Structure 1
Amino acid sequence: MEAYSPYVAMILVQFAYGGSNILVKISLEKGLNHLVFVVYRHVLAMVLLGAFAYVLERKHRPKLSFAVMAKIFVLALFGATIHLNVYYTGFSYVSLTVATALSNVIPSFTFLLAFLLGMEKVKITSGRGGAKVLGTIVCIGGSLIFTFWKRGCLLKGFVQKPLIHIYDTDQLRHHGNENWFKGSALILTSHISWSAWLILLATVSKDYPAPLSLNALICFFASLQSSFVALFIGRNPTLWKLDWNVQLLTIVYCGVINSALLYYLQTWCISVKGPVFSAMFSPLQLVIVALFSAIAFAERLHLGSLIGAFLIVVGLYCVLWGKKKDRFAVDEQKEDRNGTGDDKV
C-alpha cells in the first residue's frame, strides 16, 4: 500500500486544487482582492502548520542555519509571493478552464529549468532523452497555440445558460483577445516561478528534513512578503474586511487545504518521488475544472484551444515517460552494482 501512497496523495491534491480554483474564480469575480487573499490564506496556514510542527516535530527538528533560512525565504518568494500574486492577476483576465489548462506546462518548465541548472542530464540520442526534449518542445508549443490561436469554430457548450453567473458577458466580448493574451502570459510567468519553487524545494527539503516546520516557515515568510506587497498596493482598509460569504469560505478553504495540507503533501511527494512526479497528475485537474465550468459557467472553447490543450498533455506525458525510463535505468544500475558486490563477497 505504501508504494501507491504518493499516487493517491497527488490525485487528492488535484481534486483539492480543482475545487480551490473554482472557489477562487467565483470570489475574485465577486470582488475579493487577490493581494489580500494571498496574505490571509498564508497567515491561516502558518498558524495551523506551526501548531502541528510544534507538537509533532519539536524533538527531531534540525537546527535552522542562516543559509537554510535564506533558502526558505526564497522558496516563499517563488512559490507563494510571486507565483500566486501573478497567477491570480492573470486569473482575473481568463476563464477558469484556460487558467487550469495552462498549469500543464509546469512539468516541462520544471524539466527545462532543471536542465539549464545542470540538475537534469539529457542524452538526446537515447529514447528517454529524446522523449523529454520532444515533450518539452511540444508542451511549450501547445501552450503558445492555446494562448495565441483563438481562431476556429467555437464549440457548442453543454448548457445554453450558466447555472452560476460570474462573468460580465459584454465586457468579455469587448476585451476578449486582449484579456486572453494578457492573462495567459501572466499565468505562464507564474508557472515558471512555481517550477523554480519545485526544484528549490527538492534541495531544501534535504537540508531541512522537517516538512511541517519547513512549510510553516514558508507560509510565515510568504505572509510577510505578501503583506508588504498588499499594504503597498492595496491601501484601502475596506479591502481587508471579511464577511460571512463565499470570499471567507475561499480564504479558509485555501488556507487550510491548499497552503497547509497540500503544501505538506507535495513536500512529502517530492521528497519521495522527485519534483517532476508532483506535476504528473495536473491533467486530472483540467478534466475536473473543464467539466464543472462547462456545466456551471457554460464555458465554451475554440477548436484551437482544444488542440493546444491536447498538445500540452501529450508533451507532458512524453516528459514523464522519459523520467520513468530514467528511474528504471538508475534502478537497474543499482541492482547491477549490488549484484557485482554480492558476487565478490
Structure 2
Amino acid sequence: MENGASYVAMVLVQLAYGGSTILVKIALEKGLNQLVFMVYRHLIAVLLLGPFAYVLERKQRPSLSFKVIAKIFMLSSLGTTIHLNVYYAGLAYTSATVASALSNVVPCLTFLIAVMLGMEKLSIKNASSQAKIVGALICVGGSLTFTFWKGGYLIRSLLKRPLISVHDTGQASDVLTNGKEDWIKGSLLILISHIAWSAWLILQAVIYKAYPAPLSLTALICFFASLQSSVLSLFFARNRSLWKLEANVHLWTIIYSGVVISSLVYYLQTWCISRKGPVFTAMFSPSLLVIVGIFSAVAFKEQFHLGSLIGAVIIVLGLYFVLWGKRKESLDNAQLENQKGVADCNTQEISVTTVE
C-alpha cells in the first residue's frame, strides 16, 4: 500500500510541476520579477505549513540545534535560491519543453552524486551496476546532444497560431527562433540548476535522518528561501512597482506556486525521499517532458529541432537503463534476504534438534 502511495504521490508531483513550468514561463514573459516571485511564493508556503507543522508535529519534532539549522539553510540555498533562480534565468532563454526535457538528467545526476557519497553501491561485475553506469553515461550524452545539436530542420506544430501568446508581437513563445546562442545559454543554465537540485535531493535525505518532521522541515526550507530571496531583492529588485500585485497571471502564478508547489509538492517530495530515497524521487522526471511537451505543442505552437528530439529520446533511454538496474538490484537484494531468512530458520531448527 505504501509503495503504491509513493508512486501516486510522485506522479502528482510531476503533474504539478508541469503546470508550474507553463505558468511561470508565461508570467516571466509578462514581466514578473523572479526574485519577487520567489519571496511571495515561499511566504505563502510558510503561512500555510507553519500552523499545521506546529500542531501535527509538536510531539515528533526534535529540537533544533545550530548544526541542523545550518544544514537546513544550506538545503534551502541549493533547492530553492540557487536552483530556482538559475532555472528561471535559463527559462527566459528557452522554452518550457526544453526546460522539462533537460530535467530528465536529474535522476542520473542524483545517482552519480549518491555513488560518490557512498549512498548507492556499485559493483562492476553485477549486471544491475553495469546498467546503471551505462544509463548514466547515456543520459549525460543525451543532454549534450539535446543542448548542442539542432539537426537539419525544425519539426513544426500542426497549428497555424498559438492558443496562448506570451509575446506582445503575437509570436509563439517558442524561443527556438531566437538563435542558437540563446538556446545554448538557456540549456546550460538549466543544467546547472539541475545539478543544484540533485544535490538538494541527496542532502534532504541526509537531513531528514536528523530532523524527521516533514512538515516542519518543508516550512523551514520555505522560510529560509523567502529570507534569502529577500536579501537578494535588496540589490536586484528595489523598484517598488515590482512588488505590486494585481489580479492577473502574476498573482495566479504566485498563488499556484506557493500553495501547490512550495507547500504540497515540497512536502510530498520530502515524504517520498524519507521512504524511498532520493534516486527513486528523481526517477519520475521524464513524465514532466510529456506533460509540458503536449501542452506547449498545442497551446504555444512550439517547434522542435530534430536533434533536440533525438537528444530527448537518448536521455529517456539512459534513464530507463538506470531504472532497470535499480529494479534488478532491488530484486537481487530481496532474494538474498529470503535466502538468509531460510538459512537462519534451518540453523534454528538444527539447534533445537541438538538440544533435544
TM-score (norm 2): 0.93
| Residue 282 of structure 1, CA deviation | 1.5
**Structure 2 equivalent of residue 271 of structure 1:** 274
Q: Secondary structure at the match of 1:276?
A: helix
**Structure 2 equivalent of residue 291 of structure 1:** 294
1:101 equivalent to 2:104? Answer no
| Residue 340 of structure 1, CA deviation | 2.4
**Structure 2 equivalent of residue 85 of structure 1:** 85
Structure 1 portions without partners, runs of 5+: none
Distance 1:176 1:231 in 2: 33
1:195 equivalent to 2:198? Answer yes
Question: Quick one: structure 1 residues 173 and 314, their matched pair in 2 at CA, closer, same or farther if it must change by over 3 Å?
Answer: closer
**Structure 1 equivalent of residue 248 of structure 2:** 245
Distance 1:333 1:226 in 2: 49
| Residue 151 of structure 1, CA deviation | 2.7
Distance 1:157 1:274 in 2: 39
Distance 2:338 2:65 in 1: 37
**Structure 2 equivalent of residue 41 of structure 1:** 41
Distance 1:170 1:97 in 2: 13
Distance 1:162 1:332 in 2: 53
1:133 equivalent to 2:136? Answer no
Question: Quick one: structure 1 residues 331 and 67, their matched pair in 2 at CA, closer, same or farther if it must change by over 3 Å?
Answer: farther
Distance 1:170 1:320 in 2: 36
Alignment partner for residue 303 of structure 2, among 300, 303, 308? 300
| Residue 170 of structure 1, CA deviation | 9.9
Question: Quick one: structure 1 residues 65 and 170, their matched pair in 2 at CA, closer, same or farther if it must change by over 3 Å?
Answer: closer
The answer to whether the 8 A contact 1:136-1:316 is kept is yes
1:342 equivalent to 2:351? Answer no
1:19 equivalent to 2:19? Answer yes
Amino acid in structure 2 at the alignment position of 1:308: G
Deviations 1:135-160 (A, max 9, x none): 11111111111111113221131211
Distance 1:60 1:101 in 2: 39
The answer to whether the 8 A contact 1:46-1:220 is kept is yes
The answer to whether the 8 A contact 1:276-1:320 is kept is no
TM-score (norm 1): 0.96
Distance 1:173 1:274 in 2: 36
Distance 1:334 1:321 in 2: 20
Q: Secondary structure at the match of 1:122?
A: coil
**Structure 2 equivalent of residue 206 of structure 1:** 209
Distance 2:17 2:221 in 1: 19
| Residue 299 of structure 1, CA deviation | 0.1
Distance 2:35 2:335 in 1: 49
Identity %: 61
1:182 equivalent to 2:185? Answer yes
Amino acid in structure 1 at the alignment position of 2:180: N
Deviations 1:19-47 (A, max 9, x none): 11111111011000111111111111111
| Residue 272 of structure 1, CA deviation | 1.1
Alignment partner for residue 327 of structure 1, among 330, 335, 339? 330
| Residue 125 of structure 1, CA deviation | 2.6
Deviations 1:104-138 (A, max 9, x none): 10001001111222222211232111111111111
Report 1:220-259 matches (<5 A). 220-259=223-262
